[in-house]
Amino acid sequence: MTMIELMPNKNRGAAVDTSAYSFAATEPIRNLHTSLDVYKETPLIKLNFPNIGTVYVKDESQRFGLKAFKGLGGVWAIYKVISDELGLNNPPLEEIFKHRAELAAMTFITTTDGNHGKGVSWAAGLFGCKSYVYMPKGTVEVRAQAIRDAGSATVTITDMNYDDCVKYTARLAREKHWHLIQDTSWTSYEEIPAQIILGYTTLAYEALWQMKYQRPTHIFLQAGVGSMAGAIAAVFAEVFKNNPPRVTIVEPTEVACFYETIRISDGEIHSATGNGQTMMAGLNCATPCELAWKILRRYAADAATISDDVAADAMKVLAEHKIISGESGCAGFALANAARNSPELRRELEIDEDAIIFVINTEGDTDPDNYEKILQ
């Protein structure tokens, strides 16, 4: 059944210090990304639709050849850990590669529902380091294999849910003195996720450059733990300080932790209450990242939930425009797409024909079988 629900954020308003996300502060991150052999700016596609105006789609489906944006955060965080271990400050890659033996002795570990693990496996492999990636129960084998193929990782599909799997890898990292590269934060674990979040800023600055710094009126950002949404919201809040675009967080109906957190609105984060069943695997995370929430609780106007069929419709529309978009990749666009034919949704989201909506296609066909099935 088609379902879209919107929850307005009562805590929106007070400014947060986003100076760490400024163009100048994030320059070393872009320097790393652009120095990689596989670096290529990803496309920004401008679409126009009746009723909702312009939609800019930043298409991350080809980022680093990994089919998703996530490697941006993983490679930056791993580079930072390696640089710290070697006692170097933002070194060029050639400098790092001189330390082969030290690199071979480093091991990275993470939990993932797919794309983040691929980024970690790839980045660890790039530097000649070992990596271990653990995945929650229900993960399709094709996603595990894609992680092995991307780089150095030994991959295990566990019988744990995502949150338990994160706890398990955190414990393993402590016991074995491995580096945990997790893309979500909690009270005692902030340093690495903060770097991962910063790693995503490259895509926002590429997009701003491609839009010639035109201010979008709306940004629809899909969230799993919200690290990506927090990063992008922070960049746009920093750049358009006096008038930040209206941000909506988009989640699957059955795994909507930001929706739940905004609904309860007591200043704490809250876990999703749904049944956890969604084809949007990358968004199947039940607990918000605390660092991301600190940003989003001020800048998000609302949180929207979408059912799987709303995402499937969006995948088809994007395919008509020659954009390959996976189940989680299309979710931001899915909200815009649904608003095309819903005056009520347009009213709630304050959209009209003059709107300029920015969305990110965060992945390509990371589950090719399901992609084919949906497009048939």
Query: Which region, judged by CB under 6 A, interacts with ligand PLP, from 111-119, 129-137, 153-161, 164-172?
Result: 111-119
In the structure encoding, which two tokens stand for residue 63, read together? 């980022």
Query: Which residues within the stretch 316-355 sit at the binding site for ligand PLP (CB under 6 A)?
Result: 328-329
Cα 121 → chain centroid: 17
Using CB under 6 A, which of the segments 259-267, 271-279, 282-290, 339-347 binds ligand PLP?
Answer: 282-290
Total of chain residues touching ligand PLP, rule CB under 6 A: 22
Residue 224 in the binding site for ligand PLP (CB under 6 A):
yes
Beta sheet of 53-59, edge-to-edge order:
4-8, 300-306, 246-252, 218-222, 356-361, 53-59, 44-49
Which span sits near ligand PLP by CB under 6 A: 82-90, 109-117, 121-129, 302-310? Answer: 109-117
d(CA 161, CA 135): 8
From the list 49-57, 202-210, 221-229, 267-275, the region that binds ligand PLP by CB under 6 A is: 221-229
Helical spans, DSSP H, in the chain: 27-35, 71-86, 93-97, 100-104, 115-126, 141-150, 162-176, 191-199, 201-210, 227-239, 257-264, 290-299, 308-320, 331-339, 343-349, 368-375
Q: Is 287 in the site for ligand PLP (CB under 6 A)?
A: no
55 near ligand PLP, rule: CB under 6 A: no
Identified binder of ligand PLP from the candidate list 55, 223, 300, 323, rule CB under 6 A:
223
Q: What angle do CA 367, 371, 376 make, to 5 degrees?
A: 155
Catalytic machinery residues: 70, 113
**Which residue's CB is nearer to ligand PLP, number 72 or number 82?**
72
Residues paired with residue 220 on neighbouring β-strands, in sequence order: 248, 359
Distance between CA atoms of residues 97 and 99, nearest Å: 5
> Per rule CB under 6 A, is residue 67 in the interface with ligand PLP?
no
Member of 285, 295, 306, 315 binding ligand PLP (CB under 6 A): 285
Q: Which of 115, 121, 261, 325 binds ligand PLP (CB under 6 A)?
A: 115
199 makes contact with ligand PLP (CB under 6 A): no
Residue from 226, 244, 252, 274 in contact with ligand PLP (CB under 6 A): 226
